[in-house]
Amino acid sequence: MPLPSPKYLLALSFLALAPLQAVPVLADDQPDKRTISLSASGAVKTAPDKVDISTGVTTEAKTARDALDQNTEAMTKVVEALKEDGIDAKDIQTVNFSVGPIYEQKAEGKPPVVVGYRVTNQVRITLHDVGKLGAILDKVVTLGSNQIDSIEFGVEEPEALKDEARKLALKNVTDNAKLYAEAAGVGLGPILSITEEESSYQPRYAPMATRMDSAKEVPIEAGTAAVEVRVRVTWEIN
């Protein structure tokens, strides 16, 4: 009987060794971690320490030139008085200036005609002393301002309040997670992730009438401004 060829013997050797090779364990074969994920918010309120006022002068006249001259005279008095009261020039900003025709329908079926011109000049004033608000409103209206569009109370440094709101949000969501874990009969493990979902700074607005004739002894309440942060936290559970 002829002897097996060397190639045949080599193939048998490989077959004999194959069952002895170890099969690697893949990471995907590991059981998934059990987790709990919750969201909660934290809000901090504080007394406002600044206020922004939108005010201005609107004038009307037969010609654009007359309307502009009247507007410039009144607005100059308002701005100069604000500076005399210690308001820095950087806290007085022009936010709107417009010149436009005033139309009137003289006869039915006829196109409207121009009967005059309107000039509007609006500024945004920032007060760093909320207690001065009533006196400032009285002064600007007395000197010619006939528009106060809005009053916005806020805080100088909202980021500091956000940090406090973050701490409160984390405490709230942790308390909720402990409650859920206890109710489910599981243990709360380590934190796997913390995500800040949203944050907001909510100044308080006090909208005013578009046109004002007087502002004597203006009663204004500052109320509170609020900062809110919402977080999502994921824990491993045992």
Higher pLDDT, 31 or 196: 196
Query: Could you give the CA distance from residue 35 to residue 29 in angstroms, rounded to a whole number?
Result: 18
Is 136 a domain residue?
A: yes
Residue 35 DSSP SS3:
strand
Mean pLDDT of 108-137: 92
Does the pLDDT at position 7 exceed 90?
no
Mean pLDDT of 133-137: 89
pLDDT tens, residue by residue, 158-194: 888 899 999 999 999 999 999 999 999 999 999 999 9
Residue 46 pLDDT: 86
Query: Could you give the CA distance from residue 146 to residue 58 in angstroms, rounded to a whole number?
Result: 7
Q: Say if CB 208 and CB 149 are below 8 A apart.
A: yes
Is 18 a domain residue?
A: no
pLDDT tens, residue by residue, 83-121: 998 999 999 999 999 999 999 988 888 899 999 999 999
Q: At 70, which CATH number?
A: 3.30.70.2970
Higher pLDDT, 211 or 53: 53
Does the pLDDT at position 211 exceed 80?
no
Residue 83 DSSP SS3:
helix
Mean pLDDT of 60-71: 96
Is 184 a domain residue?
A: no
For residue 121, give the nearest of 85, 87, 92, 154 by alpha carbon: 92
Mean pLDDT of 202-225: 57
Is 67 a domain residue?
A: yes
Mean pLDDT of 23-29: 47
Instruction: Phi first, then psi: give them for residue 136, nearest 5 degrees.
Output: -65, -40
Q: Say if CB 54 and CB 110 are below 8 A apart.
A: no
Which residue range is the domain that position 68 belongs to? 50-155
Residue 146 DSSP SS3:
coil
Q: Say if CB 36 and CB 188 are below 8 A apart.
A: yes
Mean pLDDT of the chain: 82
pTM > 0.95: no
Is 233 a domain residue?
A: no
Q: Where are the beta strands (DSSP E) in 15-112?
A: 35-46, 50-61, 92-104
Residues contacting residue 44 through CB under 8 Å, at least 6 positions apart: 161, 164, 165, 168, 226, 227, 228
Does the pLDDT at position 18 exceed 90?
no
Is 1 a domain residue?
A: no
Mean pLDDT of 141-167: 89
As for how many domains the chain has, the answer is 1
Q: Say if CB 173 and CB 163 are below 8 A apart.
A: no
Is 129 a domain residue?
A: yes
Is 131 a domain residue?
A: yes
Q: Are strands 113-127 and 188-202 parallel, antiparallel or unpaired?
A: unpaired
Query: Could you give the CA distance from residue 101 to residue 118 in angstroms, rounded to a whole number?
Result: 6
Q: Which of 28-37, 128-137, 203-212 has the highest mean pLDDT?
A: 128-137
Residue 204 pLDDT: 62
